[in-house]
Amino acid sequence: MERAPADLAVLGIETSCDETAAAVVRGDRRILSSIVLSQGDLHAIHGGVVPEIAARAHLDHCDAVIRHALDTAGIGLDRIDAIAATIGPGLIGGLLVGAMTGKAIALARGLPFLGMNHLEGHALSARLDPGVAFPYLLLLASGGHCQFLIVDADGRYTRLGTTIDDAAGEAFDKTAKLLGLGYPGGPALERLAARGDPQRFALPRPLLGRPGCDFSFSGLKTAMRLVIDRLGEEVDAARADLAASFQRAVADVIADRTTHAIAATRARGVEPTALVVAGGVAANTEIRDRLAATGAAHGLALRAPPLALCTDNAAMIAWAGIERLRRGERDALDIPARPRWPLDPAAA
């Protein structure tokens, strides 16, 4: 017998980068389990993610992580209504591991398979909180992506702006590496910045005040490197101030670009229900605070997923799968993995 929408249970699988993740989520928004196995220690010695190492680690652990998610949820595959696995964008080796595992389970159990866009998982993660209704303005900020999207019902996404070079999370990680903080650098840089003076170093604010909703962080990263080189042996004593100054510059740029994005959304005749931030950078407290203030100044409340759902996870993939399943969608088992896959197909 077909289950009611609230009773649906979807198994999500996420392997697009350096976390092997699986989760079980119900249609009533309850997360029954969310297991994330980080590969941070494997990649830390290299200063960043090595695609071949990531793919091998996914292959070694994917089955066990899925079993752990099912056991934690307290249900078996006979209680699962669909499989949702990330098939893009991301590192192709990792994507193939998760996609093939999900397809195999779907085939063996006769279940619908949903090939999920990783960005859609982030985009819809705030809807695990039932208070976020369509349409809303989303800032998706992570290690690989930094863009504004209007998120509407029925899987419609309109991109307003994106980064023309580095993503915000990438800039955080590369700056952290310059400061000797290791990988992943974003959280370490935020902790260091909490002890620093954000006014000490005058860093550029790329595109600040200019028209449009695009971002640029490459020049800021280069300016940081030049300051560090100039300080020489004095850099150790200035690391906290450098981190704080960099973080403040990023927050200033994001606040400015958000103001433009709100105006651009309303210029299209769309009144957003909220300003939503998602992705790993959404875990940064200063950036959240600036976004909340910017949204409030324009009559929009800031909504963000819980911190555990900001970074890569499979609960967001399972939930996005539920949203698609409710629209009657499913994918053929020959759907390919896609290392590049924009949410807005009309965007360049």
Q: For a pLDDT cut of 90, what percent of the chain falls above it? A: 85
pTM of the predicted model as reported, rounded to 2 decimal places: 0.93
- Evaluate if residue 40 carries a pLDDT over 80: no
Helix ranges (DSSP H) in the chain? 40-44, 51-73, 92-109, 118-124, 168-178, 185-193, 218-231, 235-267, 285-297, 315-326
pLDDT band at 52 (very low <50, low <70, confident <90, very high): confident
Q: Interior CA angle at 128 toward 126 and 133, to 5°?
A: 65
Domains and CATH numbers, the chain: 5-125+309-326 (3.30.420.40), 134-304 (3.30.420.40)
For residues 133 and 272, is the Cβ–Cβ distance under 8 A?
no
> Looking at the chain, how many residues does it have?
348
Give the pLDDT mean for 185-193: 94
pLDDT band at 1 (very low <50, low <70, confident <90, very high): very low
Q: Please give the DSSP secondary-structure letter assigned to residue 125.
A: G
DSSP string, 221-233: HHHHHHHHHHHGG
Give the pLDDT mean for 123-140: 93
pLDDT at position 347, please? 83
Give the pLDDT mean for 135-162: 94
pLDDT at position 183, please? 76
Average pLDDT, the chain: 94
